[in-house]
């Protein structure tokens, strides 16, 4: 994709499904795939490609980086009130998020992606290198039925990718039992100062 897909119109009271991925995880010479110009089809192709990738950047597989991202997602909801968090999953090279925005999506995505990029690069010992791909895929949810379907899609992404047998067994998602136990308050406190300044 050559341009960002962030919405310019904010339909109040609508859930937002957002996906973004690591820089270099989706080769631009492969995307968008031929014959998949419809945004929905292109998204499904992209997600399947990212799920099956065994090469390229997979930084989100590392526990400290995944916990940093989850801590930031939760901090933006619970402490900053940027959105109501409905579902999330942190995969090896991408993130899915379902939220009810309280501020414009471009603002909370800039905060989330900017902070997590800086901190993840610090954890990984990388300097001056892009972490996230600039563009994000977004979709305003039409109704409650679609919201339920998207939430199930997000939480079952690790199952579909063959990582776990049950969604609840994946620790880096809203469905995961381990996410609550391993994150603790440390992940939220670690990002509180910087996120609060964004």
pLDDT, tens only, 64-97: 999 999 999 999 999 999 999 999 999 999 999 9
Q: Does residue 31 have a pLDDT over 90?
A: no
Contact partners, residue 58, CB within 8 Å, separation at least 6: 22, 25, 92, 93
Q: What is the mean pLDDT of the chain?
A: 84
Question: What pLDDT is stored for residue 32 in this prediction?
Answer: 62
pLDDT bucket at 99, cuts 50 / 70 / 90: very high
Average pLDDT over residues 142-163: 95
Distance of alpha carbon 30 from alpha carbon 50, whole angstroms? 12
Question: What pLDDT is stored for residue 44 in this prediction?
Answer: 82
**Mapping DSSP to helix (H, G, I), strand (E, B) and coil, where does residue 54 land?**
coil
pLDDT bucket at 198, cuts 50 / 70 / 90: very low
Class of domain 16-197: alpha beta
Mind listing the pLDDT tens digit for each residue in 107-136? 999 999 999 999 999 999 998 899 999 888
The percentage of residues in the chain with a pLDDT greater than 70, rounded to a whole number, is 79
Question: Model-level pTM?
Answer: 0.82
**Mapping DSSP to helix (H, G, I), strand (E, B) and coil, where does residue 51 land?**
helix
Contact partners, residue 149, CB within 8 Å, separation at least 6: none
Distance of alpha carbon 153 from alpha carbon 133, whole angstroms? 22
Residue 11 CB neighbour total at 10 angstroms:
12
User: What's the CA dihedral at 65, 176, 22, 24 to 10 degrees?
Assistant: 110
Q: Does residue 153 have a pLDDT over 80?
A: yes
Distance of alpha carbon 177 from alpha carbon 141, whole angstroms? 26
**Helices 63-78, 186-197: inter-axial angle, 10-degree rounding:** 60
Average pLDDT over residues 177-193: 47
Mind listing the pLDDT tens digit for each residue in 38-73? 777 778 888 888 888 888 899 999 999 999 999 999
Q: Does residue 179 have a pLDDT over 90?
A: no
Question: What pLDDT is stored for residue 170 in this prediction?
Answer: 95
Query: How far apart, in Å, are the Cα atoms of 29 and each of 3, 33, 52, 167?
Result: 15, 9, 17, 32
pLDDT bucket at 152, cuts 50 / 70 / 90: very high
The token duo for 152 is 């199930």
Average pLDDT over residues 183-191: 46
């Amino acid at each position: 994709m050559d341009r960002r897909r962030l919405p310019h119109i904010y339909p109040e009271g609508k859930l937002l499904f957002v996906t973004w991925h690591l820089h270099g995880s989706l080769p631009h010479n492969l995307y968008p795939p031929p014959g998949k110009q419809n945004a929905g089809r292109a998204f499904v192709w992209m997600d399947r490609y990212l799920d099956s990738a065994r090469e390229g950047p997979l930084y989100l597989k590392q526990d400290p980086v995944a916990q940093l991202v989850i801590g930031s997602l939760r901090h933006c909801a619970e402490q900053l009130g940027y959105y109501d968090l409905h579902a999330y999953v942190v995969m090896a090279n991408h993130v899915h998020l379902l939220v009810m925005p309280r501020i414009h999506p471009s603002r909370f995505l800039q905060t989330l992606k900017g902070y997590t990029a800086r901190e993840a690069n610090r954890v990984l010992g990388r300097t001056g290198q892009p972490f996230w791909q600039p563009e994000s895929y977004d979709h305003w949810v039409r109704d409650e039925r679609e919201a339920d379907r998207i939430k199930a899609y997000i939480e079952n992404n690790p199952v579909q990718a063959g990582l776990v047998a049950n969604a609840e067994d994946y620790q880096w998602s809203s469905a995961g039992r381990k996410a609550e136990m391993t994150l603790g308050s440390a992940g939220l406190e670690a990002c509180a100062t910087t996120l609060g300044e964004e």
